[in-house]
């Protein structure tokens, strides 16, 4: 079996430079074949210096380097999104194409423990719910972040010990993005709780385990307790039995995700409570806002939850 090909995303900053050096030193024992990728977002006048630095790194490690110049400002204006989101979207779209073109199934990134903490607070502040507590797993699709449990300063100590320079992005200290504003607030929290980052990572692991258990339960219930009609007139079928509100909310979240329906937490909480109440009632039509609940008269133990604006074909003539 040949080596596994990995594209190392390298900005020239301390995190990605340390990642590159560590993976290069471990490539033999890990069975890795490495190449590099660098994106110029054209947002800073120093960007061309970063690109030059990354080219020097590629020559130092004798690795292939792919480069791209991304028009982040145009993409942000066109899609009406912030620069940070636009940069991430363009960068990851390009990195995925680059991985496919060179036959790599992994894109290594220099995400650190501090990145994880910043993302937790950023997503919690936006109402991300329980998913906010596990935003940056070690592996997610093509992304591989082997340094996610390592502190930034540990990586810089490693680089100093290896005599390797790195680039500092001064814009990381400017408060024009939400992430940068959270980054400025977190040192004060760490003074109060020096182990804040490690505690949040442990919480991440616990929440992931609970989420995986919940997902296994939902999958086991699929068929015996609930089902989907994902055709043109989509609906969720539910068995009339003793549902708990939290159980039904989990099922509705999974079903709505599959059907690409809105999944706001408040909606799912209100809807699951309403459905649980009526599943135990008489077999007649019920409505709740933009939603309807109908029984199948040919199958007394089946109820159909669907948008009130449509009537699933499977209900035609049944009530």
pLDDT band at 3 (very low <50, low <70, confident <90, very high): confident
User: Same structural domain for residues 16 and 114?
Assistant: yes
Q: Pull the structure tokens for residue 13.
A: 């900053």
Whether 54 is covered by a domain: the verdict is: yes
User: Same structural domain for residues 248 and 100?
Assistant: no
pLDDT band at 54 (very low <50, low <70, confident <90, very high): very high
Per-residue pLDDT of 253-284, as tens digits, reads: 999 999 999 888 899 999 999 999 998 766 78
Whether 211 is covered by a domain: the verdict is: no
Report the mean per-residue pLDDT for the chain. Answer: 92
User: Same structural domain for residues 86 and 140?
Assistant: yes
pLDDT band at 1 (very low <50, low <70, confident <90, very high): very low
Q: State the sign of the Cα–Cα–Cα–Cα dihedral 294, 297, 303, 306.
A: negative
- Which residues constitute the domain of residue 245? 223-315
Maximum pairwise Cα distance, the chain: 77
- Output the pLDDT for position 319: 43
Q: Are 8 and 102 in contact (CB under 8 A)?
A: no
Domain boundary among the residues 171, 204, 237 is at 204
Give the CA count within 13 Å in the CB-facing half-sphere of 245: 10
Q: Three-state DSSP class for 80?
A: coil
- Output the pLDDT for position 273: 95
Question: Structural domain tally of the chain?
Answer: 2
- Output the pLDDT for position 296: 80
**Cβ contacts of 281 within 8 Å, gap of 6 or more:** none
Whether 288 is covered by a domain: the verdict is: yes
User: Same structural domain for residues 27 and 176?
Assistant: yes
User: Same structural domain for residues 186 and 42?
Assistant: yes
Q: Are 57 and 68 in contact (CB under 8 A)?
A: no
- Output the pLDDT for position 2: 65
Per-residue pLDDT of 171-218, as tens digits, reads: 776 767 888 999 999 999 999 999 999 999 999 999 999 999 999 999
Whether 214 is covered by a domain: the verdict is: no
pLDDT band at 313 (very low <50, low <70, confident <90, very high): low
Q: Are 180 and 173 in contact (CB under 8 A)?
A: yes
User: Same structural domain for residues 182 and 228?
Assistant: no
- Output the pLDDT for position 314: 61
pLDDT band at 317 (very low <50, low <70, confident <90, very high): very low
Per-residue pLDDT of 60-83, as tens digits, reads: 999 999 999 999 999 999 999 888
């Amino acid at each position: 079996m040949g080596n596994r090909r990995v594209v190392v995303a390298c900005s020239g900053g301390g995190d990605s430079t340390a990642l590159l050096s560590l993976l290069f030193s471990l490539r033999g024992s890990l069975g890795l074949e490495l190449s590099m990728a660098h994106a110029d977002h054209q947002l800073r006048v120093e960007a061309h210096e970063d690109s030059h630095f990354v080219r020097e790194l590629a020559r130092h490690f004798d690795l292939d380097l792919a480069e791209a110049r991304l028009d982040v400002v145009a993409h942000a204006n066109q899609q009406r999104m912030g620069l940070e989101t636009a940069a991430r979207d363009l960068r990851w779209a390009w990195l995925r194409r680059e991985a496919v073109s060179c036959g790599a199934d992994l894109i290594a990134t220099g995400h650190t423990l501090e990145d994880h903490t910043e993302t937790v607070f950023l997503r919690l502040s936006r109402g991300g719910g329980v998913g906010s507590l596990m935003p940056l797993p070690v592996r997610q699709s093509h992304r591989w972040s082997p340094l996610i449990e390592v502190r930034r300063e540990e990586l810089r100590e490693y680089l100093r010990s290896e005599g390797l320079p790195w680039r500092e992005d001064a814009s990381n200290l400017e408060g024009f993005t939400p992430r940068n504003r959270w980054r400025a607030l977190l040192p004060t929290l760490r003074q109060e709780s020096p182990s804040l980052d490690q505690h949040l990572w442990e919480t991440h692991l616990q929440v992931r385990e609970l989420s995986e258990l919940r997902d296994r339960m939902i999958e086991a219930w699929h068929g015996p307790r609930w089902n989907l009609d994902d055709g043109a007139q989509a609906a969720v079928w539910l068995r009339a039995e003793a549902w708990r509100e939290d159980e039904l909310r989990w099922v509705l979240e999974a079903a709505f995700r599959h059907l690409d329906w809105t999944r706001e937490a408040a909606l799912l909480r209100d809807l699951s409570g309403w459905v649980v109440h009526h599943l135990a009632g008489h077999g007649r039509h019920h409505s709740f806002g933009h939603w309807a609940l109908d029984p199948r008269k040919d199958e007394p133990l089946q109820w159909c939850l669907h948008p009130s604006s449509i009537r699933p074909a499977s209900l035609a003539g049944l009530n």
